[in-house]
Amino acid sequence: EPEVTQTPSHQVTQMGQEVILRCVPISNHLYFYWYRQILGQKVEFLVSFYNNEISEKSEIFDDQFSVERPDGSNFTLKIRSTKLEDSAMYFCASSSGANVLTFGAGSRLTVL
């Protein structure tokens, strides 16, 4: 069964450092998303990406965040200058457009 692959599975970084989280969506999907889940809390929408541009973003997705699809397969989330409150599990998801989102296993980010 096709799956969304995320790397790294866990990253520890110092506050103020830049972090890039990587995702390989399902190959024929057109819509890409990043969500985050702070430990024990709900899954929160960050950003959606379609046709090589951001289609929607939440209030959480401020200027410190950016997304990119650098080639035909990868989809990345960059956090420019990490803060303690960025510590969370970050999930990438992709969709063919029929409402069904397939999530990756997540990248746990720990900011010290």
Partner 1 sequence: QQQVKQSPQSLIVQKGGIPIINCAYENTAFDYFPWYQQFPGKGPALLIAIRPDVSEKKEGRFTISFNKSAKQFSLHIMDSQPGDSATYFCAASPSGGYNKLIFGAGTRLAVHP
When binding is defined by CB under 8 A, the residue of 7, 13, 20, 44 that contacts partner 1 is: 44
Distances in Å between the Cα of 29 and the Cα atoms of 1, 12, 82, 90 are: 14, 30, 29, 19
Query: Cβ of 66: how many Cβ atoms within 10 Å?
Result: 14
Candidate ranges 11-19, 64-72, 80-88, 103-111; the one touching partner 1 (CB under 8 A): 103-111
On whether the CB atoms of residues 36 and 90 are closer than 8 A, the answer is yes
Structure-block tokens of residue 20: 């890039």
Q: Quick one: 44 or 76, whose CB is closer to partner 1?
A: 44
CB of 47 to partner 1, least distance (A): 9
Structure-block tokens of residue 54: 């951001």
- Estimate to the nearest angstrom the gap between the alpha carbon of 48 and the chain centroid: 9
Could you say whether residue 38 binds partner 1 (CB under 8 A)?
no
CA R_g for the chain: 13
Could you say whether residue 50 binds partner 1 (CB under 8 A)?
yes
Candidate ranges 11-19, 66-74, 79-87, 104-112; the one touching partner 1 (CB under 8 A): 104-112
Grouping H, G, I as helix, E, B as strand and the rest as coil, residue 84 is helix
Candidate ranges 14-22, 48-56, 65-73, 75-83; the one touching partner 1 (CB under 8 A): 48-56
Which residues of this protein are in contact with partner 1, per CB under 8 A? 4, 31, 33, 35, 41-45, 48, 50, 55-56, 91, 93, 95, 97, 99-106
